[in-house]
């Protein structure tokens, strides 16, 4: 990469200017500063990856991931611990999220993603009334730019119409209004 090469300001100048004493002085100072800047860029690029980070980069990654480095550990041991932590983060997709929510709630859910909003709809009685822990877990799992919307899926008129029932048949089911709206009775 460009930051691995030594800087030579005089090499960019025409031959007439390369022998000027003032240019030599300026080039000496500029080359030192450019080498320092190139080294800083090299360090930043290397510290973007756990595999190539130095001590300062490993410390930054440990802080980001919440990993504490073992006492007297080598840089490679710290890198390995960071890689292990990163591997515990599974790739998140709709199926993984659906499985996590279904395991928490104990019933089937419908998951859809549109316009950076994940909509989770369920029908039935969740075995857990408080959804706040589910929200907390889901927000730790999903990307930060997505919002989560969990709501009960009430019966729509189309679903009710799809049952092809008369009002007498519906009345024979002896449903309360709440039971009717919840739609758990639909097969």
Using the 3D structure, point to which of 66, 87, 108 is the last residue of a domain: 87
Question: Nearest 5°: phi and psi at 150?
Answer: -110, 125
Q: Is residue 38 domain-shared with residue 117, that is, in the same domain?
A: no
pTM score, two decimals? Answer: 0.49
Distance CA 146, CA 150 (A): 13
Q: Is residue 101 domain-shared with residue 169, that is, in the same domain?
A: yes
CA-CA-CA-CA torsion sign (66, 72, 74, 80): negative
Average per-residue pLDDT for the chain: 84
Summarize the confidence of residues 136-165 as an average pLDDT.
84
Expressed as residue numbers, the domain containing 178 is 94-182
Which band of pLDDT confidence, cut at 50, 70 and 90, is reported for residue 96? confident
Highest mean pLDDT among 38-42, 84-88, 102-106, 127-131: 38-42
Q: Is residue 104 domain-shared with residue 42, that is, in the same domain?
A: no
CB under 8 Å to 131, separation ≥6 — which residues?
A: 150
Q: Are 5 and 26 in contact (CB under 8 A)?
A: no
Q: Is residue 75 domain-shared with residue 135, that is, in the same domain?
A: no
Say how many domains are in the chain.
Answer: 2
Q: Is residue 99 domain-shared with residue 49, that is, in the same domain?
A: no
Q: Are 183 and 153 in contact (CB under 8 A)?
A: yes
Using the 3D structure, point to which of 53, 70, 87 is the last residue of a domain: 87
Q: Are 100 and 138 in contact (CB under 8 A)?
A: yes
**Any idea what DSSP says for residue 70?**
P
Which band of pLDDT confidence, cut at 50, 70 and 90, is reported for residue 88? low
Summarize the confidence of residues 40-59 as an average pLDDT.
91
Asked if residue 187 is part of any domain, the answer here is no
CA distances from 104 to 39, 122, 137, 178 (A): 49, 12, 10, 24
Confidence check: pLDDT of 128 > 70: no
Using the 3D structure, point to which of 72, 87, 102 is the last residue of a domain: 87
């Amino acid at each position: 990469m460009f930051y691995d090469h030594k800087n030579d300001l005089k090499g960019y100048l025409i031959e007439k200017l390369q022998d000027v004493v003032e240019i030599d002085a300026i080039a000496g100072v500029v080359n030192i500063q450019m080498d320092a800047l190139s080294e800083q860029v090299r360090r930043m690029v290397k510290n973007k990856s756990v595999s190539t980070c130095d001590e300062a980069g490993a410390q930054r990654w440990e802080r980001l991931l919440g990993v504490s480095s073992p006492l007297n550990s080598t840089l490679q041991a710290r890198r390995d611990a960071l890689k292990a932590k990163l591997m515990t983060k599974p790739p998140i997709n709709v199926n993984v999220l659906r499985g996590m929510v279904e395991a928490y709630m104990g019933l089937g859910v419908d998951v859809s993603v549109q316009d950076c909003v994940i909509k989770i709809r369920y029908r039935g009685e969740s075995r857990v009334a408080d959804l706040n822990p589910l929200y907390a877990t889901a927000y730790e799992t999903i990307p930060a730019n997505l919002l989560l919307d969990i709501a009960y899926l009430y019966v729509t008129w189309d679903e009710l119409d799809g049952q092809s029932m008369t009002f007498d048949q519906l009345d024979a089911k002896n449903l309360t209004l709440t039971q009717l709206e919840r739609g758990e009775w639909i097969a």
